[in-house]
Amino acid sequence: MDNISDGLKRRFRDPKMREQYLKLFDDVVKDPAVAQFLKDNQERLSKQDIITGFSKLYEFVNLRKELAAGKQTFAPGYEPQLIVSDHHIEVVYHPTAKMVEHQQAQQRQKMVGMINLPKGLRNARIEDYDISGREEPLRAALTFIDECIDYQKNGNFPKGLYLSGSLGVGKTYLLAAIANKLAENGIQSMMIHFPSFSVEMTGAIQNGNPNQILNQIKQVPVLMLDDIGATRLTSWMRDDVLGIILEYRMQNELPTLFSSNLSMKDLQEQYLTYNNRGDSEPLKAMRIMERIKFLATEYQMVGPNRRNPE
């Protein structure tokens, strides 16, 4: 650094000031983080670049001292880093690891709050998903998540999943794991237990506003209709609620997922064809099924009933 000091000496005529400045300079360049930075960038920085960028080095060292002393800095939660940009030394600020963790937790909390998941499913993690016998749906779930993340940027419609399989095989759990992963990526989803929703909507006709609920639900970024096919539907529920939701989501290409004890074929032939009074309406069933097929691909899930492990 002697040559640099020579360069600096020339800049200060007043010996007292020069001495003070040199001392300051010396302290800064000897700071281990600065020394390392200068070493890493010795090819890219001339002596003059270092002298010109001294104020940046000084800012960096000072801020790190304040952080180390636990002081509140002008940018709480951020830490400085030195970079070289076109031969200039610059200080950039990055969120600290603690800050990133805090922001992510907050974001997750916010999103999960909107997912409306049963308590036991809030911690369902796709990373922990036991895959035996369910490789295909899991792979499809991971692809769907990636496509949803891309969807934010390029608008390509991600086709959803229709998970079919018997009770306890893990359909709801997989949907919840998808919802949690989407939340981590800032994507809001809503899971609706379809049988309870039917009851709620029927109640809303008498003492609420079914259209308000309907409008909210049809627009959520990612909609999961859980356990569709479990209870009988009225024609109104099928055509004017389910039909409207699916139509809207199809027209607007909004990601939609389903889980059911029934295959798509059985859903159409056994569930959607007959209303709660037993009338057979195959054409109406077909219309609904067309929309479901547009929105989602069917995946059969097999395996033991995990609700009652032996």
256 near Mg ion, judged by CB under 5 A:
no
Instruction: Check if the beta carbon of residue 26 is closer than 8 Å to that of residue 57.
Output: no
CB of residue 128 to ligand ADP, shortest distance in Å: 6
Task: Give 165's contacts (C-beta < 8 A, 6+ positions apart).
Answer: 171, 261, 300, 301, 302, 303
CB of residue 34 to ligand ADP, shortest distance in Å: 50
Residue 262 token pair: 């029934």
Cβ closer to ligand ADP: 165 or 229?
165
Instruction: Check if the beta carbon of residue 296 is closer than 8 Å to that of residue 141.
Output: no
Q: Which residues pair with 88 in a beta bridge?
A: 85
Which of 28, 38, 163, 172 forms a contact with Mg ion (CB under 5 A)? 172
x-marked contacts with ligand ADP along 157-186 as a string, rule CB under 6 A: --------x-xxxxxxx-------------
Annotate 157-182 with b (16+ C-beta within 10 A) or e (fewer): ebbbbbbbbeeebbbbbbbbbbbbbb
CA distance 214 to 113: 19
Size of the site for ligand ADP (CB under 6 A): 13
CB of residue 130 to ligand ADP, shortest distance in Å: 4
- The binder of 167, among ligand ADP, Mg ion, none, by C-beta within 5 to 8 A per type, is ligand ADP
Judged by CB under 5 A, the stretch of 34-42, 95-103, 166-174, 185-193 that binds Mg ion is: 166-174
CB of residue 124 to Mg ion, shortest distance in Å: 12
Annotate 21-54 with b (16+ C-beta within 10 A) or e (fewer): bbeebeebbebeebeebbeebeeebeeebbeebb
CB of residue 171 to ligand ADP, shortest distance in Å: 3
CA distance 133 to 139: 12
CB of residue 310 to ligand ADP, shortest distance in Å: 13
x-marked contacts with ligand ADP along 128-147 as a string, rule CB under 6 A: -xx-----------------
Cβ closer to Mg ion: 56 or 134?
134
Query: Taking CB under 6 A as the criterion, which residues in 110-129 touch ligand ADP?
Result: 129
Cβ closer to Mg ion: 107 or 261?
261
- The binder of 164, among Mg ion, ligand ADP, none, by C-beta within 5 to 8 A per type, is none
Which of 68, 206, 307, 310 forms a contact with ligand ADP (CB under 6 A)? 307
Provide the H-helix boundaries in the chain.
2-11, 15-30, 32-40, 47-52, 54-68, 97-115, 135-154, 171-184, 194-207, 210-219, 235-236, 243-251, 264-266, 282-295
Sites of contact with ligand ADP (CB under 6 A): 129-130, 165, 167-173, 259, 306-307
